[in-house]
Structures are given as structure tokens and as C-alpha cells.
């Protein structure tokens, strides 16, 4: 549909039959918060905190951090903000946290793994999030850890969050091992958010930044979708914990339908994509989304899955 004919997003994501799907925004810095709020996003599903401090030689003080987080929270009174703890390393090195001599940084000490040697940095960050949360008590603040691979890591993160008086903790599912062990991981935390960018990279063993591998680095790859399905199933078995998606896949309207059909309950994306995703979701019932999701998971290839779903979604044309 021509952009002009897509209705404005009214702040409540849902399918044609009324099934709710939270539509959230991804942001990187406090300056992104107000534009995201005015776009009608129901909240922030991924606040990439490392973007606030890229290029910094030294760790930002707890006061500086709390100020950055508070500026974001202030734009979302009464709404949800998911703060991701520093995802330093690989494509986003932070000089005060990242060893730049690693031979293979994507498989190195990145994300939550940095807390092995530097739990103090994570503790200070969680303390700063808690301080900002106290200043904005009407915001539903949640924290989540990137690059979780095991249930032990998830449990360790949840404990650090409790120590910091942050009651709601979650993890990103972006390592295939975590998708396969989602049930035990989700027993330790309250929610999961699938990072399809890294989940695709690690499932397909294809560098997400290498355009020569673009056809492998495709979240429509049935193997990736199978892992999303496994994650939702594990989260269900762990007591019905919610699973969202915050990778680029959530911004592709046809793939958004598939993800919802697989049982994902929230989608977080750049604010510019929310309107188009909302419009397509509103064109379809949950039963049809489930059928299209099954087609995409069972497809012989990413291209075949994409084509099959497209045929089932006349609203895309
Ligand atoms: C992801 O990996 O899908 C994700 C959302 O995190 P990032 O892109 O910041 O690695
Ligand atoms: Mg990631």
C-alpha cells in the first residue's frame, strides 16, 4: 500500500480479531525517546544503552547514567521501558569494557559475558537504572541482559537485578543455545526478547555485517524461525512467560505476522516501521497468522517462506 494510505498508528497494536500485539520502539539514546513517544509506540522494547556511551574511554559515572536513563523514562509515563544492559563488544566495542585484541569478537567476551570479569560495571549500571526508576515511579521499567547463552547466566542476571531492587528482569534470546534451552532460562527470569539480528548471525554462522552473506543472514531462514518457535514453546512451559522480538525482523510486516503466529506477544522496532506493521497486523486474524507461521517454519528456504506468506497477505499489496 502507498505510505499515504496507511492509517496513523493509534497506540494499540492488535490483529483484526482484536488479539493484542504490543508495538514498541527501539532506541539508542535519550534524544530518540521523545520522537518514539510521539510516534505512538506503546513503550520501549529495546533501549540499547551502549549507544549512550559509544566512544567513551572511561565508564560513565552512575550519576551520568541515571541522568540518561531518566531522560528516557520521562517520555514514557505509565508505559513500559525495557532497558538493555550494556551490550559491549563485537560490533559495539566500549573502550572501558571491551578487549579489542580478541581474534573473533562476535564469539568473544561481549554482552552479559563482560560481567564475568567486570560485575562491578553491571552492578553500577543496574544501580543507575534503579535510581532513574525511583525518580519516575509511574514508568514500568524492566531490564534485560544481552547475549545470554545458559540458564546459569540468566539466574545470575536475575539475582543481580534483585540485589539492585529491580524486580522485573529478562533476557535476550540471540544465541541458539538459549533458544533451545528457553524453558530453563525462562524459569530464572520474567520475560524474553528475541534478538533476531544476532540469532540469525549465530544460527546461520554468517556475519551480520557481511553483505556477501545476505541470503544466509536472513531472519526468514526456516532454521531461525524454528528457534523462535522453540523459544515461545519453552516460555510457555516455564509458566507462560511473555516473548517479544526486538531484532530487525519485527519491522518486516509479513515477518511480523509470522512472529505473532508463532506466539510472540510484542514487537519492538524503529519507530518509522510501527505504522506499516500495525496496518498489516490489523488485516489478519490469529488463526490465519498461525497458519502462515507454520508455512514459513516448514518452508524449504527463506525465499519460499517469504513468498508463501506474501500470497496469504493481500494487505501487503
Ligand atoms: C539483535 O541482535 O537482534 C538485537 C536486537 O540486538 P543488537 O542488534 O543490538 O545486537
Ligand atoms: Mg544482539
- Mapped onto helix, strand or coil, the DSSP state of residue 81 is strand
Q: Which are the contacts of 43, defined by CB distance < 8 A and separation ≥ 6?
A: 22, 24, 25, 76, 79, 80, 81, 82, 140
Percent above pLDDT 90 for the chain? 91
Tell me, what's the pLDDT at 257? 98
84 is in an annotated binding site: yes
- Region 268-285: mean pLDDT is 96
Residue 289: count other Cβ atoms within 10 Å of its Cβ: 27
| Ligand 1 contact, 196 CB (< 6 A) | yes
Tell me, what's the pLDDT at 1? 47
- Region 242-259: mean pLDDT is 97
Tell me, what's the pLDDT at 4? 57
Kindly provide the ipTM of the predicted complex, given to two decimals.
0.99
- Mapped onto helix, strand or coil, the DSSP state of residue 245 is strand
Tell me, what's the pLDDT at 99? 85
Whether 52 sits among the annotated catalytic residues: the reply is: no
Q: Which atom of ligand 1 is nearest to the CA of 249?
A: 3
Tell me, what's the pLDDT at 237? 98
- Region 60-81: mean pLDDT is 98
| Ligand 1 contact, 247 CB (< 6 A) | yes
104 is in an annotated binding site: no
Give the ligand whose atoms come closest to the C-alpha of residue 197.
1
Which residues sit opposite 43 in a β-bridge?
80
> Tell me: the pLDDT tens digits for 98-124?
888 899 999 999 999 999 999 999 999
> Tell me: the pLDDT tens digits for 122-175?
999 999 999 999 999 999 999 999 999 999 999 999 999 999 999 999 999 999
Mapping DSSP onto H, E and C, the string for 83-116 reads EECCCCECCECCCCCCCCCCCCHHHCCCHHHHHC
174 is in an annotated binding site: yes
Mean pLDDT of the chain: 95
Cα separation values, 240 from 190, 192, 232, 236, 309, Å: 10, 11, 9, 4, 27
Query: Which residues have CB atoms below 5 A from the ion given as ligand 2?
Result: 174, 195, 198
Closest CA to 219 of 190, 196, 235: 196
Could you tell me the distance, in angstroms and rounded to a whole number, from the CA of residue 196 to the centre of ligand 2? 7
Residue 82: count other Cβ atoms within 10 Å of its Cβ: 25
> Does the predicted model carry a pTM greater than 0.90?
yes
Cα separation values, 242 from 125, 160, 170, 194, 305, Å: 24, 21, 10, 11, 25
- Mapped onto helix, strand or coil, the DSSP state of residue 160 is helix
> Tell me: the pLDDT tens digits for 190-221?
999 999 999 999 999 999 999 999 999 999 99
Candidate from 7-11, 177-181, 268-272 with smallest mean pLDDT: 7-11
| Ligand 1 contact, 197 CB (< 6 A) | yes
208 is in an annotated binding site: yes
Could you tell me the distance, in angstroms and rounded to a whole number, from the CA of residue 172 to the centre of ligand 2? 8
233 is in an annotated binding site: no
Could you tell me the distance, in angstroms and rounded to a whole number, from the CA of residue 199 to the centre of ligand 1? 8
- Region 262-275: mean pLDDT is 97
| Ligand 1 contact, 87 CB (< 6 A) | yes
| Ligand 1 contact, 198 CB (< 6 A) | yes
CA dist 165 and 1 (Å) reads 47
Confidence band for 6, pLDDT divided at 50, 70 and 90: confident
Per-residue DSSP letters for 29-44? SGGGHHHHHHTT-SEE
| Ligand 1 contact, 219 CB (< 6 A) | no
Q: Which atom of ligand 1 is nearest to the CA of 91?
A: 10
> Tell me: the pLDDT tens digits for 225-250?
999 999 999 999 999 999 999 999 99
Phi, psi of 82 (to 5 degrees): -100, 110
Give the ligand whose atoms come closest to the C-alpha of residue 51.
1
Amino acid at each position: 500500500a502507498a505510505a499515504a494510505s496507511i492509517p496513523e498508528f493509534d497506540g494499540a497494536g492488535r490483529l483484526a480479531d482484536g488479539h493484542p500485539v504490543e508495538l514498541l520502539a527501539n532506541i539508542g539514546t535519550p534524544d530518540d525517546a521523545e520522537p518514539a513517544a510521539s510516534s505512538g509506540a506503546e513503550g520501549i522494547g529495546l533501549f540499547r544503552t551502549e549507544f549512550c556511551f559509544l566512544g567513551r574511554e572511561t565508564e560513565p559515572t552512575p550519576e551520568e547514567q541515571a541522568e540518561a536513563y531518566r531522560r528516557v523514562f520521562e517520555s514514557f509515563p505509565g508505559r513500559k521501558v525495557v532497558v538493555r544492559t550494556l551490550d559491549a563488544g563485537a560490533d559495539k566495542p566500549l573502550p572501558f569494557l571491551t578487549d579489542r585484541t580478541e581474534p573473533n569478537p562476535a564469539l568473544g567476551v561481549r554482552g552479559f559475558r563482560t560481567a564475568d570479569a567486570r560485575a562491578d560495571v553491571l552492578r553500577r549500571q543496574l544501580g543507575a537504572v534503579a535510581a532513574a526508576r525511583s525518580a519516575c515511579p509511574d514508568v514500568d521499567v524492566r531490564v534485560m541482559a544481552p547475549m545470554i547463552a545458559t540458564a546459569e547466566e540468566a539466574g545470575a542476571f536475575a539475582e543481580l537485578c534483585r540485589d539492585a531492587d529491580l524486580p522485573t528482569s529478562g533476557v535476550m534470546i540471540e544465541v541458539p543455545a538459549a533458544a533451545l534451552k528457553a524453558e530453563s532460562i525462562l524459569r530464572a527470569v520474567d520475560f524474553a526478547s528475541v534478538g533476531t539480528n544476532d540469532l540469525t548471525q549465530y544460527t546461520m554462522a554468517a556475519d551480520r555485517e557481511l553483505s556477501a552473506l545476505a541470503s544466509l543472514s536472513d531472519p526468514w531462514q526456516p532454521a531461525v524461525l524454528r528457534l523462535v518457535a522453540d523459544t515461545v514453546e519453552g516460555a510457555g512451559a516455564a509458566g507462560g512467560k511473555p516473548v517479544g522480538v526486538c531484532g530487525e525482523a519485527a519491522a518486516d510486516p509479513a515477518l511480523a505476522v509470522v512472529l505473532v503466529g508463532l506466539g510472540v506477544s510484542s514487537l519492538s522496532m524503529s519507530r518509522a516501521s510501527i505504522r506499516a506493521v500495525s496496518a498489516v497486523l490489523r488485516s489478519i486474524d490469529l488463526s490465519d497468522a498461525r497458519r502462515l507461521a507454520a508455512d514459513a517454519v516448514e518452508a524449504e528456504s527463506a525465499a519460499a517462506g517469504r513468498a508463501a506468506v506474501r500470497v496469504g497477505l493481500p494487505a501487503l499489496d
